[in-house]
Amino acid sequence: MTIPVLIGITFLVFALARLIPGDPCRAVLGERATDALCNDFIIRYGLDQPIPVQFVSYLQQLASGDLGTSIKHSRPVTTLLIERLPTTIELTLLAMLFATFLGVPLGLLSAYRRNSAADVGTMMFANLGVSVPVFVLGLILAFVFAIVLKDTPFALPPSGRLSSGVSVVPLAVVWGLEDWTGPPRALLDFVSGIYIFSGLITGQWGPAADAFRHMILPAVALGTIPLAIVARITRSSLLEVLGLDFIRTARAKGLGERGVVIRHGARNAMMPVVTIIGLQLGLLLSGAVLTETVFNLAGVGRSLFEAISGRDYVVIQGFTLLIAFGYVMINLVVDISYGLLDPRIRLQ
């Protein structure tokens, strides 16, 4: 089932990119480009071919791992991805970690102490959390932590990825692998772009901490909606499980309350939580467009938005495809992880 969906996605992306009105030639070369220049441009990028022909040659190109060359930046889309994807990965992963590691315990606590002040508070927060637009929260956080708390230890930077003057030395330089080329080098550069991770594994503590400080506000802004959703789902799922017979059995055989809730209850309550975490990743990618705009981060979301306004077909296609494929793959991983959590549905 996954493959027809992937082909459908590819076609939809391709068609949508072609539907965007406006002349790509003049969007790139400027309003005053001559007709001759434009003719040249159109032939060079194969835009004079019928759409089905363009689609087939695009598929052939994709099959060889080539996402094309950005019309606007005159650089391969893969290079752009290596530059921009790490930002988005860092942002979404931190946001997801924030949502999961705060949301699951909050949800468990709420269910465990149902109707207590902690429960009511958490659920009120969760209701509010899912109602706040990412960009409003981002702006408010930036205002509080960069302006109100300026000059206090709690001040946090509201934009960019690193403070000026700070840089994370790329892995290729640290490990003396500068003569590497091709895909291995690309992979190395890609990992280097995930500043917090590459800083940590090479012992550049200062820059890594700086990168982390820059990501706190964006990650919290982006992670709040998922946090609220994860907390709610965890709570209702655990409540449902705690009402089942085997929990009574566990209590009857004399297990401590904590053992019952954590070992027997929580584990069985995790399935819907895992599903929702997977689904939230798609939402995070949407939110990343807004977060990256608010916090001035050059990630995939903002690049995609710029590509759409600049009619850079190739970039739109490449980035959207990647996101949609990633999303489909995440769902696949979620399906597989069910088996790990619940032996009853291990893949046959």
Partner 1 sequence: MNELPLPAPSTGPSPVRPSTQPSAGGPVATSRRGGLWRDTAGQVLRQRSARMGLAILGLLVFVAVFAPVIATHDPDGRLLGVEQGVKQRAAPCIHLLGCPEDQPQHLLGTDGNFRDVFSRVVFGARTSLVIGFAAIGFAIIVGTTIGALAGYIGGGLDNVLMRLMDIVLAFPALLLAIAIVTAVGASLANALFAIALVSVPIYARIARASVLSTKESDYVTASRALGESGFGILTRRIMPNSITPLVVQGTLGIGGAVLEIAALAFVGVTGDLNRPEWGSMIGLERNQLFNAPHVILAPGIAIILTVLGFNLLGDGLRDALDPRLNR
CA distances from 234 to 15, 117, 221, 273 (A): 40, 18, 21, 6
Question: Helices then strands (H, E): number in the chain?
Answer: 16, 0
**In the 8-state DSSP scheme, what is residue 345?**
G
Q: Is 132 in the site for partner 1 (CB under 8 A)?
A: yes
CB of 129 to partner 1, least distance (A): 10
Q: Is 134 in the site for partner 1 (CB under 8 A)?
A: yes
Q: How crowded is residue 88: how many other Cβ atoms within 10 Å of its Cβ?
A: 26
* Spatial distance between the Cα atoms of 189 and 184, rounded to a whole number of angstroms: 9
Q: Is 227 in the site for partner 1 (CB under 8 A)?
A: no
Radius of gyration for the alpha carbons in the chain, expressed in angstroms and rounded: 24
Q: Is 191 in the site for partner 1 (CB under 8 A)?
A: no
* Spatial distance between the Cα atoms of 71 and 74, rounded to a whole number of angstroms: 5
Could you say which of 39, 61, 127, 159 contacts partner 1 (CB under 8 A)?
127
Could you say which of 55, 212, 305, 338 contacts partner 1 (CB under 8 A)?
305
Could you say which of 27, 62, 118, 130 contacts partner 1 (CB under 8 A)?
130
* Spatial distance between the Cα atoms of 161 and 211, rounded to a whole number of angstroms: 6
Q: Is 290 in the site for partner 1 (CB under 8 A)?
A: yes
What is the three-class DSSP state of 76?
A: strand
Q: Is 212 in the site for partner 1 (CB under 8 A)?
A: no
What is the three-class DSSP state of 123?
A: helix
Q: Is 89 in the site for partner 1 (CB under 8 A)?
A: no
Residue 144, strand partner residues: none
Q: How crowded is residue 100: how many other Cβ atoms within 10 Å of its Cβ?
A: 19
CB of 253 to partner 1, least distance (A): 24
Contact letters (x/-) for partner 1, 4-33, by CB under 8 A? xx--xx--x---x--xxx------------
CB of 301 to partner 1, least distance (A): 8
Q: Is 328 in the site for partner 1 (CB under 8 A)?
A: yes
Q: Is 101 in the site for partner 1 (CB under 8 A)?
A: no
Residue 345 burial (10 A CB sphere; 0-12, 13-18, 19+)? exposed
Q: Is 140 in the site for partner 1 (CB under 8 A)?
A: yes
Which residues are at the interface with partner 1 (CB under 8 A)? Answer: 1, 4-5, 8-9, 12, 16, 19-21, 127-128, 130-136, 139-140, 142-143, 146-147, 243, 282-283, 285-287, 289-290, 293-294, 301, 304-305, 308-309, 316, 320, 323-324, 327-328
